A and B are shown apart, each in its own frame.
Chain A
Amino acid sequence: AQRVTQPEKLLSVFKGAPVELKCNYSYSGSPELFWYVQYSRQRLQLLLRHISRESIKGFTADLNKGETSFHLKKPFAQEEDSAMYYCARPWNNNDMRFGAGTRLTVKP
């Protein structure tokens, strides 16, 4: 069963435009959700997590339980935001399950 769904494999926007990377999850209680990012030639790393309710590098993500979504948003995309983004959630209290990922390209 797909536990985290990222419907867009590729997303391309122009610099300065708003960006939204979609993530939907399979409902199971109160989920804890994460966004991980992998910049070119760098390691996969945590970008932000739902419970922190913080903005990292201008990105925010709001948990919408009604829509079972945790979309990642930024009002003004920058070229350095180009990366692979993964939505993830814990599963069975042990491991993390990742979505298929969305490759964001921010064009100049």
Chain B
Amino acid sequence: DSGVTQTPKHLITATGQRVTLRCSPRSGDLSVYWYQQSLDQGLQFLIQYYNGEERAKGNILERFSAQQFPDLHSELNLSSLELGDSALYFCASSVEAGGFNEQFFGPGTRLTVL
């Protein structure tokens, strides 16, 4: 699959725990975006990386962090998890960093915090 991949598909954990979500962009894409989708908030932009460097930040909590590695895959780390963090987390990638570029989305990771 040459599209955006995300692992795991589902994650169930307890409050206070820490999890790591992984994303591999499309081949050739340098920019990675993370989004949180919840029922009442819609699709919220969290953070963007381009070629290993943070490029833009959205509504990302201090308990959350991310990075993009030299091979361009990205990880989103969520710590001190709360019930309200339960959501679908999407990763997207694009060729360039500009918001004018079409973004290609992964299938998402569904996080459930119990």
Contact = CB atoms under 8 A, between A and B. Distances in A.
Interface of A: 32, 34, 43-46, 49, 86, 89-101
B42 A101 contact: yes
B97 A44 contact: no
Given A43-B4, A44-B92, A95-B48, 9 more contacts: A34-B102, A43-B105, A44-B90, A44-B105, A90-B99, A93-B98, A94-B98, A95-B56, A96-B45
B108 to A, nearest CB: 8
B33 interface: yes
Contacts, number: 61
Interface centre among A44, A96, A100 (most CB of B within 10 A): A96
Nearest to A102: B42
A93 B101 CA distance: 10
Given A95-B33, A95-B58, A43 B107 contact: yes
A101 B98 contact: no
A99 B42 contact: yes
Contacts of A43: 3-4, 105-108
Interface residues of B, number: 26
Contacts of B99: 32, 89-96
B103 interface: yes
B42 A46 contact: no
Nearest to B55: A94
A90 B90 contact: no
Contacts of A92: 56, 99
A96 B42 contact: no
Contacts of B33: 95-96
A92 B42 CA distance: 20
26 contacts: A34-B102, A43-B3, A43-B4, A43-B106, A44-B90, A45-B104, A49-B102, A86-B42, A86-B43, A89-B99, A90-B98, A90-B99, A90-B100, A92-B56, A92-B99, A93-B98, A93-B99, A94-B56, A96-B33, A96-B99, A97-B45, A98-B42, A98-B44, A100-B41, A100-B43, A101-B42
